[in-house]
A and B are shown apart, each in its own frame.
Chain A
Amino acid sequence: MSQFSELMNRNRVARARQRKTANGIMLTLTGLLTILALIPLFWIIGYVIVRGGRSINLDFFIHMPTPMGVPGGGVLSAIEGTLVVTLLAAVFAIPPGVLAAFYAAHYPNTPLGVALRFSTDVLSGVPSIVVGLFAYAVIVVPMKHYSGLAGGAALAVLMLPTIIRTTEEMLKLVPHTLREASLGLGAPEWKTSLSVVFPAAINGIITGFLLALARAAGETAPLLMTALGNERFDIGQIIRGGIQGHQSVFTILGRIINQPVDSLPLALWKYAQQPYPERVELAWAVALVLMLFVLIVNVTARVWIQNRARKMKG
């Protein structure tokens, strides 16, 4: 009998030790997996900074690309093109996005509100290249040529879900008391929304815009079939030519958005595949600029949003 209970006891001790070891091993493993998942982040950031930092200089920002095989030159056309398409995207996406977010925030459970949230979810999941095909069919086909306008429209579709979602979240953070106070003072609904609720949430909403813009600025796939790429795109020349030809502001703006434009990610993609080492070096420099832009915007926006959220809750 005592032998039996001793055996039982030993078994229990062995089992407990086994469970403890398994616990230790698996918990350590999750920590190691976290480190493993973060290795690429530091590897990419570090490598791009070192490699891109070597070939970046002032020329990079202020000169047009040189013909293939000729060293030197910059990516001014791509920088200008990126500005054009992302600004166009912001102009197209922000007003409808913010207004739709007002609806989503105030009427989440009406049939339209449910459909709106579902559509936002689906839109955010649509692959960017498919959005590019859509913009091609809507704008490039009727206009019969590639353009910055089409690129901006494609990026706008990609930005829209992010804008709606972040704006909605920020509007919901605004305390109800503010709204009720405004309505109680006799202000109409639209005025309450626009001049009380919106300003209270504006910081968070703007950071949401910035996050969406950063994501759009790094997109390549939808621009392949819309903006196409154009190494000779030069806003300065268009404006100078327009002023000399006494064209109206609208004509000049029209000429800027109505032709194929380059963009930083597009340039990176093209340069990376060319057999000229100086072009590859340029690609690393573009990667550095693009990555730093995206990372800086992301980090500042997150810090800002978190501070706002804490302040609003407090």
Chain B
Amino acid sequence: MLKIVKPLPETHWLSRLRRILHYGDRPWQGLIIVMSALVIVLMLSIGGLLWAKSAGARSAFGWSFLTPTANPNWDPVNDHFQAWPFLYGTLETSLFAILFALPVGIGVAIFLAELCPAWLRTPLTWMVELLAAIPSVVYGLWGIFVFLPQVVAPIGVFLGDTLGQLPVLGSLFAGPIPASGSSRLAASLILTIMITPTIAAVTRDVFLAIPNSQREAAKALGATEWETIWQVLIPFGKSGILGAVILGLGRALGETMAVTMVIGNSIQGGASLLHSGYTMASIIANEFAESVSQLHTDALIEIGLVLFIITLLLNILARYLVWQVARQAPQEARS
């Protein structure tokens, strides 16, 4: 038996709700637009807030906070702060890390994208990515107890005995390395391990985006596999590889825990890679929660602001370069 359902009157709350739900596109659009805007506002407010909160340090020290000095003065007791040693430590460790990681990363990318047999490709790619997934404190713990005594200290002694004796370059490698091994060299090497996956993954994507016509053309002209890679693929993808380097550099600059645990945390230390040092991220990690004055907090926040601005600029540059490669590839494929 069919039961006839009387339609609900227009004014009934249930039919009102149904109407709202049926014409709910506007609230929905509004919601997703607001959430998207929220993400953008969040990004902007990180920079804005750090700028606002570091006002005290900026007005007290001006540019002298960041300029190079021979006698850096970081004195929380007397409220005098100069961030040069941290800037220098960050730049030195990150640049050396890039120097070590770039050849390894490109080698891994070439192997994964061009040479590796298909069955090995997925597991190897995963392993390289897992390297990036291990928490940075675990790297630090392993660094202190295994990597420093077994790898860094011998390398440091060797470098101090050889490169350290050279006339000009010697100042960068002046020994002796601390007996524990904790030094900027240790930080650079740990960073090398941590950023190699980033560089390898992005470079691999760049290689995979290069159209096959390039490889076929090179091989048809008689080039060997290596000549194809070195003389055709790498020049073709060089701006993408540069993007990978910049992305890796951004990661190295901001890396905190592992570096703090192995770098030795010393404000003195000169220019040498073999001495212990400090980085911008590690001074914030060590002193922020125990800062002794408002100006001390402000100075640490200003260091954070500098870090934010550097990584922001690097990211913009890297995205631009990667985007250029992506834009270039399909055009090449057509021609």
Stretch at the interface among B9-17, B69-77, B108-116: B108-116
Cβ-neighbour of B131 out of A41, A95, A283 (below 8 A): A41
Closest chain B residue, CB of each to CB of A219: B135
Q: Does A31 contact B (CB under 8 A)?
A: yes
Cβ-neighbour of B25 out of A96, A157, A188 (below 8 A): A188
Residues of chain B contacted by A33 (CB below 8 angstroms)? 103-104, 107-108, 111
Q: Cα distance A190–B31 when bound, in Å?
A: 10
Q: Does B124 contact A (CB under 8 A)?
A: yes
Interface string of A264-304 (1 = CB under 8 A from B): 01001100110000001001100100110011001100100
Residues of chain A contacted by B42 (CB below 8 angstroms)? 119, 123, 157, 160
Interface string of B42-81 (1 = CB under 8 A from A): 1111100110010000000000000000000000000000
Residues of chain B contacted by A273 (CB below 8 angstroms)? 261
Most buried by A among B23, B39, B49, B301: B39
Most buried by A among B32, B35, B111, B250: B32
A290-B31 in contact given A41-B130, A44-B142, A129-B281 (Cβ < 8 Å): no
- B104-A116 in contact (CB<8A): no
Residues of chain A contacted by B227 (CB below 8 angstroms)? 19, 23
Q: Does B4 contact A (CB under 8 A)?
A: no
- A34-B108 in contact (CB<8A): yes
Q: Does A309 contact B (CB under 8 A)?
A: no
Interface string of A218-236 (1 = CB under 8 A from B): 1111001100100000000
Q: Does A29 contact B (CB under 8 A)?
A: yes
Residues of chain B contacted by A23 (CB below 8 angstroms)? 224-227
Stretch at the interface among B163-171, B172-180, B310-318: B310-318
Chain B contacts with A in 123-159, Cβ cutoff 8 A: 124, 126-131, 133-142, 144-146
Cβ-neighbour of A127 out of B112, B129, B307 (below 8 A): B307
Closest chain A residue, CB of each to CB of B297: A136
Q: Cα distance A133–B111 when bound, in Å?
A: 40
A121-B319 in contact given A126-B46, A157-B42, A298-B130 (Cβ < 8 Å): yes
B264, chain A: closest CB distance, angstroms: 13
Closest chain B residue, CB of each to CB of A221: B256
- B35-A99 in contact (CB<8A): yes
Residues of chain A contacted by B133 (CB below 8 angstroms)? 214-215, 294-295, 298
Cβ-neighbour of B50 out of A41, A115, A133, A299 (below 8 A): A133
Q: Decide if the interface of chain A is mainly helix, strand, loop or mixed.
A: helix
- A126-B254 in contact (CB<8A): yes
Stretch at the interface among A54-62, A68-76, A100-108, A240-248: A100-108
Residues of chain B contacted by A176 (CB below 8 angstroms)? none
Q: Cα distance A96–B289 when bound, in Å?
A: 30
Closest chain A residue, CB of each to CB of B46: A134
Chain A contacts with B in 90-138, Cβ cutoff 8 A: 95-96, 99-100, 102-104, 112-113, 115-116, 118-123, 125-131, 133-134, 136-138
What is the interface size of chain B, counting residues whose CB is below 8 A from a CB of the partner?
A: 90
The number of residue pairs between A and B whose CB atoms lie closer than 8 Å in the complex comes to: 256
- A38-B28 in contact (CB<8A): no
What is the interface size of chain A, counting residues whose CB is below 8 A from a CB of the partner?
A: 86
- A291-B104 in contact (CB<8A): no
B234, chain A: closest CB distance, angstroms: 12
Chain B contacts with A in 279-335, Cβ cutoff 8 A: 281, 284-285, 288-289, 300-301, 304, 307-308, 311-312, 314-316, 319
Q: Cα distance A3–B128 when bound, in Å?
A: 55
Residues of chain A contacted by B43 (CB below 8 angstroms)? 119, 122-123
- A123-B39 in contact (CB<8A): yes
- A48-B46 in contact (CB<8A): no
Q: Does B3 contact A (CB under 8 A)?
A: no
Q: Does B200 contact A (CB under 8 A)?
A: yes
Closest chain B residue, CB of each to CB of A283: B141
Residues of chain B contacted by A41 (CB below 8 angstroms)? 127, 130-131, 134
Q: Does B217 contact A (CB under 8 A)?
A: no
Q: Does A144 contact B (CB under 8 A)?
A: no
Most buried by B among A22, A48, A115, A190: A190
Q: Cα distance A53–B131 when bound, in Å?
A: 21
Residues of chain A contacted by B92 (CB below 8 angstroms)? none
Q: Which 4 A-B pairs have the closest CB atoms?
A: A127-B254, A218-B135, A33-B107, A190-B28
**New contact pairs (12) apart from A44-B138, A118-B319, A119-B40, CB-CB < 8 Å:** A33-B111, A47-B146, A99-B35, A100-B32, A100-B38, A126-B312, A127-B256, A129-B281, A130-B254, A220-B135, A269-B140, A291-B138
Residues of B that sit less than 8 Å from A by CB: 21-25, 27-29, 31-33, 35-40, 42-46, 49-50, 53, 103-105, 107-108, 110-112, 115, 122, 124, 126-131, 133-142, 144-146, 193, 196-197, 200, 224-227, 229-230, 247, 250-251, 253-257, 261, 281, 284-285, 288-289, 300-301, 304, 307-308, 311-312, 314-316, 319
